Amino acid sequence: MQKNKLKSLIHFHFIVFIFGFTAILGSLISIDSLSLVWYRMLIAFLFLIVFALVFKRSIKVSNQLLFKLLISGALISLHWITFFKAIKVSNVSITLSVLSLGAFLTSIMEPLFYKRKIIPYEVVLGFFVVIGTSLIFKSQYYYIEGMFYALISVFLSVIFGLINGKLIEEASSLVISIYELLGGVILITVILFFIGDFNMSLFDVSKTDLFWLMILGTICTAYAFVISVEVLKHLTPYSLMISINMEPVYGIILAIIILNENNQLSLDFYIGFIVIFLSVILNGIIKLRKNKSF
């Protein structure tokens, strides 16, 4: 059992690295965040449907579970829309740093959602993440709009993670991912239709954008999405969220290398970032010593 947890944790950290690269793709792709997420979820959905058909995997679910999965998918689509919107009105580094607040929110909400006692050190580490994030807010106040969207995004992400922690008990990760992606596609299609953007211009995408969208939809969504759901069998939502705090580490490093964002960041930003990073490392050490769930 412990071996499965360690294996899941290592695998999930690789997925978190992919999530960090997702932010870079969001900056490289020129289309707006709503269209971007529509393409992302549609490509991932079609990819997983083909996978299920080729390997003859059953995707039948009850009507009740189908409704839950579609709603959950709509939720994650809103998370991704606000996530990419935050990147486009600020930058990758700011957006990913604000997302680190997820650990603090999860430390409070998970005990309520799963009806367990609050673990003090989770709250303490979450508080340090808040301090680190506050330093980032202080130093990068001119990106307030991006921070606002990132805050909405992280709240939606926490809710989604808590819901999926229960859904994994009712279906396989592949089935959950397929219907959640479908739910997101349906919601965004409806939104695009009502705002008048569901027309031929939606399909007017450059070859460069299409290439990055294919990478985003297959590797960074279809594959990463299924695995991130699968590891919930062995990891708690809090453990996932604290691991996801490594996303800023990977993402910001990539942003500095690929997008030269270091020219846009102050000393306070890096201090805040280090506080967040140390909180993540300390969490891992404590969990290993206590021999609890990773």
pLDDT tens across 234-256, in order?
A: 776 666 666 666 777 788 888 88
Q: Which long-range contacts (CB under 8 A, 24 or more apart) does 119-126 make?
A: 119/238, 121/283, 121/286, 122/238, 122/242, 122/283, 125/242, 125/279, 125/282, 125/283, 126/279
The model's pTM: 0.85
Instruction: Spell out a b/e string for 234-253, using b for 16 or more CB atoms within 10 Å of the CB, else e.
Output: bbbbbbbbbbbbbbbbbbbe
Q: Is pLDDT of 292 > 60? A: no
Instruction: Determine which of 11-20, 59-68, 260-269 has the lowest per-residue pLDDT on average.
Output: 260-269
Q: Work out the average pLDDT over 218-231.
A: 86
Confidence of residue 228 (pLDDT cuts 50, 70, 90): confident
Q: What is the pLDDT of residue 240?
A: 65
Q: Work out the average pLDDT over 197-201.
A: 92
Range of the domain at 158: 2-290
Instruction: Determine which of 18-32, 72-86, 161-175, 266-280 has the lowest per-residue pLDDT on average.
Output: 266-280
How many domains, the chain?
1
92-144 pLDDT, tens digit each: 888 888 887 777 787 778 787 877 777 788 778 878 877 887 887 776 777 88
